[in-house]
Chain A
């Protein structure tokens, strides 16, 4: 009798658990699983974008994709962009967080202002930067010419390597506040006693940074790097609006290639194949990254 009651109670708990988790699972399926399966499904067809009608082609899209030089060029650009801007985001982010962690008189104001690049719309940010970079009336060129550093305006967005450097810098400016926020939060939880002990032992500021601050930040940085790497890898609008992928295809990344296939060429199936390939690349990165960070922990 008691056993039956326990069994019944366990079943009720199990049922309640399923009911409570069901909304989350349903949302997850609707938002993640369905689009993913749909994308994979679309990638097996040759589909005209406006009508979404087409014919089965199996893996032909992937064979064609891998055989295109443009894919490999865009992948290389994607990696350069991601590594470049992520590196700068981390450097600027940690540096700014350390500054804001100090007890300076304008700290509260600075902490508020530092969020501005992150919150401003990408479209607005790009318009501002395009104005800054403009050859005829951009302030950067005017200042540099006035200071005698250059004789002629610099072409920031239309020649290489200027274009890639420019988009990397703008991307770093746009997204480094995220790193600042996360690192600053972690800095505030590092026990002061560790620094006191280090000072007593004669450690200088550089040693304190590498021996105390950086190890303490490691967990946060691991997460930040993974998140920012994923987000930067799939960044579309900032690059598209700044350079359109030019000059030629020098700053064209895979997301821009997806857009081109989907809406300029009306090849939705091929675009889906590119998107699935992007996901595969990011998945490989995540797996390798997580394994390495775990190995390091061990």
Chain B
């Protein structure tokens, strides 16, 4: 594409509208606020080198537009953000913008008065540009939004090797659990395992198994947030999960995201269960299988049950204790400026998917080798994640669950899997105790 073409596409109606919105927001700020230098702290658990480079680009652009405002990026960690934020909140030394935390964690903080309402930032970004329903998960009980998605992530896609499928006589992507088991059994052997499901005592096991419950037609909570995990669907889910154990590597009992991803990328597992980072990793680390990789929504107990995609809805939110809320809101909105936003998405192509329709169709976004090569897979992940859910928002009928993060963090669901599947404990007893544990968490 010629440079002049890029120039034309860079000046878009959406970009102009966002610029106007940003200017409008800027004009409403008190003059004194801009007479003083401001430093914004940005926290995120996403810290791969490419992502950090993209963040720095966005920061440089923002700082160039706003002399006197400085932005400092600081990484946290996926498993360790809770104590870091707890320390920040309790000390009052909070970051000004936080991104990529799952929505159910932010819901809990908002319910306790720790997060600033985000409605005006969503308007500044362009509410109509979001995929339909994309922000529903971020709506609190009081009707306000406590954040928005920095992107979507389809975290439980079924990853497949077309070459192994062909060799094993598997003619299509499995849609049901029976088909998945049969396919894995057919492909397992010669040092290759069927699947890398997690059975460890960690958040991945909890999050994946919540999806499996839904793929059995069940749920953890009713729409009114009564505990509903002790059900026939959950029993079926446990049976399925147990039956897959023999098709997973021995160390799957301690697998989390990294180990599970590596098992598929390295070729040790014929299938995988993860988000779009698989694409970049396969091309970088095991290019021999890159042309054989594809994905599908994870199979269900039967095709009568709709697919259920886990989207942790990586968020953007602003702590209520921030001393620079206005500037933070400006910066939060700026994160969706097309040039910087696309660069950020390209840092993890297919993994963090756009939440804005205009970005998905933007030629700049589509002009990425990974996205081009796996156009069908990226489209599938985009649509699946846009309609995705998590424990904070199990279906469109469910209320926002501010305790979702604590249920996941407590390990009670991972314990359920381990006790029944690994230890062989009585399922009725364990489900009863699990229900009681979750109820205790809900009561606070």
Contact = CB atoms under 8 A, between A and B. Distances in A.
Partners in one complex: yes
Interface of A: 48-52, 133-137, 152-159, 243-249, 259-260, 262-266
A153 B409 contact: no
Contact of B423 (A48, A153, A245, A247): A247
Contacts of A244: 200-202, 411
B90 A136 contact: no
30 contacts: A49-B86, A49-B90, A51-B112, A51-B114, A133-B251, A134-B259, A135-B249, A135-B250, A136-B251, A152-B250, A153-B249, A153-B250, A155-B251, A155-B253, A158-B250, A158-B251, A159-B253, A245-B411, A246-B200, A246-B253, A246-B414, A246-B418, A248-B201, A248-B415, A262-B83, A263-B83, A263-B409, A264-B82, A264-B410, A264-B411
A198 to B, nearest CB: 50
B418 A247 contact: yes
Nearest to A64: B440
Interface in B39-91: 82-83, 85-86, 89-90
B314 to A, nearest CB: 20
Contact of A265 (B113, B199, B251, B406): B406
Interface string B424-444: 000000000000000001000
B90 A51 contact: yes
Contact of A158 (B89, B254, B415): B254
Nearest to A240: B79
B418 A265 contact: no
Interface string B253-268: 1110001001100101
Interface in B235-292: 249-255, 259, 262-263, 266, 268
Interface in B402-421: 406, 409-411, 414-415, 418-419
A158 B415 CA distance: 13
Given A155-B254, A245-B411, 6 more contacts: A50-B90, A50-B114, A135-B251, A244-B200, A260-B410, A266-B86
A265 B90 contact: no
A152 to B, nearest CB: 6
Interface in B80-113: 82-83, 85-86, 89-90, 108-109, 112-113
The 5 closest A-B pairs by CB, nearest first: A158-B253, A246-B201, A135-B251, A264-B409, A158-B254
Interface of B: 82-83, 85-86, 89-90, 108-109, 112-114, 199-202, 249-255, 259, 262-263, 266, 268, 406, 409-411, 414-415, 418-419, 422-423, 441
A266 B253 CA distance: 27
Contacts of A156: 251
B418 A248 contact: yes
Contacts of A263: 82-83, 86, 409
B431 to A, nearest CB: 15
B419 A248 contact: yes
Interface of chain B: mostly helix, strand, loop or mixed: helix
A158 B114 contact: no
A245 B79 CA distance: 14
Contact of B201 (A52, A134, A243): A243
A265 B249 contact: no
Contacts of A245: 201, 411
Contact of B90 (A52, A133, A260, A264): A52
B249 A136 contact: yes
A268 to B, nearest CB: 8
A48 B199 CA distance: 30
Tell me which of B114, B250, B262, B441 has the highest count of chain A C-beta atoms within 10 A of its own C-beta. B250
Contacts of A133: 251
A150 to B, nearest CB: 10
A123 to B, nearest CB: 11
A247 B114 CA distance: 34
A159 B268 contact: no
